[in-house]
Amino acid sequence: MMLKEAVSAAECVALQLASDTERYAELGRKLRSTSFSTALTIARGSSDHACNYVAYLIMARLGRVVASLPMSLVTLNKSPLVTRDTLAISISQSGQSPDVVEPIRYFRDGGATTVALVNDIDSPLAHAAEWAMPLRAGKEQSVAATKSFITSLVAGARMVAQWQNDPELQAGLEALPEALLEATRVDWSPAIDVLAPARNIMVVGRGISFPVALESALKFKETSALQAEAFSGAEIKHGPMALIEDGYPLLIFATRGPTQAGLLQLATEMRGRGAKVLLAAPADVAERDLTLPVAATPDLDPIVAIQSFYVMAAKLSAARGMDPDAPRHLSKVTKTN
């Protein structure tokens, strides 16, 4: 089921891109005409990783600083947060968890602009937000989110493209369904050979690729019971370096952009220290171990990168004798306060 749903992402993205066009344009006009002193994201798990990606796009393209809200400030501490001139963005597959719904309701009641990118458009979160934008991923059966994560990234990029009124980014989004289909066909079997017997792994990214590292590490834990930690390429030389020994596996996402050169250099250095590096990079990088698909523009590369990863992760879980559709101790909808 996980593999089937992951591969269906291109179809879901095509449906999303064909829907709600005027609603996104209207949201873009609203965002351009509103002055924000604070911008926040509100999410958990894979949705929080999607928020990391959207926040990076907003900061890099629109110059607004975006922070992730610790939801307990609202749900448990009852802190008197200032809501005026605030943009609050939530991403959720189910839209059910109280610690996501309550902050959005709090900020909306206080006059903030609230946006929910949510798969269940009839959920409490969708009703709580001023702007509820459906992911159009359809019902997701597998516990491990795949197509809903990809459609979350696309919805966030659509919002940014309309906010910035950028024709290039909008055109790049329109080309995504075909790019995602191509990404499902990329051969990442060398990663399975390395990771099927592994006990742990570091997943590394930086900048626009770091949210993909976060999501990949979560999926390794969730579907393969593989102890995985995500690090920025800028941080790994601090404490995490002490863990590196002969044969220690590292998956490095070196997507296009200004952070790529540093990640390629890191891969070379880690190989010199004895690590078993799986360097995921575009086809023009000769030293790559895994080929990263690319989108029409580098800012969309993480979307097709995670598509290739998901296909590999589903096969890795089976290779490790596990069922990716029934992870231990996990359920599809998690509700926390």
Q: Would you please indicate which residues are annotated as catalytic (active-site) residues?
A: 332
What is d(CA 43, CA 114) in angstroms, rounded to the nearest whole number? 13
Name the residue type at position 137. Answer: A
Phi, psi (5° rounding) for residue 273?
A: -90, 5
Phi, psi (5° rounding) for residue 176?
A: -65, -40
Token pair in block for residue 296: 């029409």
Distance of CA 132 to the CA centre of its chain: 19
What is d(CA 315, CA 273) in angstroms, rounded to the nearest whole number? 29
